Amino acid sequence: MNTESINHAKFLRLWSMAVVYASIVEISIKCNGPRSFMRDAETQAALYQIGRRGIAGEATVTDCDGVSRKSLHQSGLAMDISIVDENGDTVWDESKYQIVAKFWKSIGGRWGGDFTPREIWHFDLIT
């Protein structure tokens, strides 16, 4: 197994713990779709272009272009999530994200809510 595979497996193991913890404290989590977890360079490059296309009011999504600056999503070390209510609708109550983030950080993860700009939906693992 190479280092990238080992780190990916570690992320998944720790993320499983976070999901179980969230369930215990009655918080439901879902991944925000396929591009929110594992991304190829092409998908990352497309996300990088958002906010750089000259469209008025369009906010920049990422500073990682997928080639010279890779995202942790490209190696399976990051996930964008939503916290959902009993109907499966996204909840933007930051206090719920903070509860999950506190646990995530206690087991070695990093939370996007600590970034500038803030990304309360982003959870990653620096190895």
The per-residue pLDDT for 116 is 86
* Predicted model pTM: 0.90
Nearby residues of 66 by Cβ (< 8 Å), 6 or more positions away: 39, 40, 41, 42, 43, 44, 45, 47, 48, 74
Q: Which band of pLDDT confidence, cut at 50, 70 and 90, is reported for residue 127?
A: confident
Alpha helices (runs of H) in 37-116, residue ranges in sequence order: 41-49, 94-106
For the chain, domain boundaries: 1-38+76-127, 39-74
Going by pLDDT thresholds of 50, 70 and 90, the confidence category of residue 98 is: very high
Distance CA 89, CA 83 (A): 8
Strand (E) or helix (H) holding 36: none
Residues 99 and 27 sit within 8 Å (Cβ to Cβ): yes
The predicted pLDDT at position 87 comes to: 95
20 pLDDT band, cuts 50/70/90, is very high
Give the pLDDT score at 61.
87
Model confidence at 113: pLDDT above 90 = yes
Tokens linked to 67: 């080639």
Averaged pLDDT, 17-28: 97
Class of domain 1-38+76-127 as given by CATH = alpha beta
Give the per-residue pLDDT at 73.
Answer: 94
Q: How far apart are CA 89 and CA 111, in angstroms?
A: 22
Distance in angstroms between the alpha carbons of the first and the last residue of the chain? 16
CB neighbours (10 Å) of residue 27? 18
pLDDT over 70, % of the chain = 100
Please answer whether residues 80 and 46 qualify as being in contact, where contact means their C-beta atoms are separated by less than 8 angstroms.
no
Asked if the model's pLDDT at residue 1 lies above 80, the reply is no
| Interval 17-32 mean pLDDT | 95
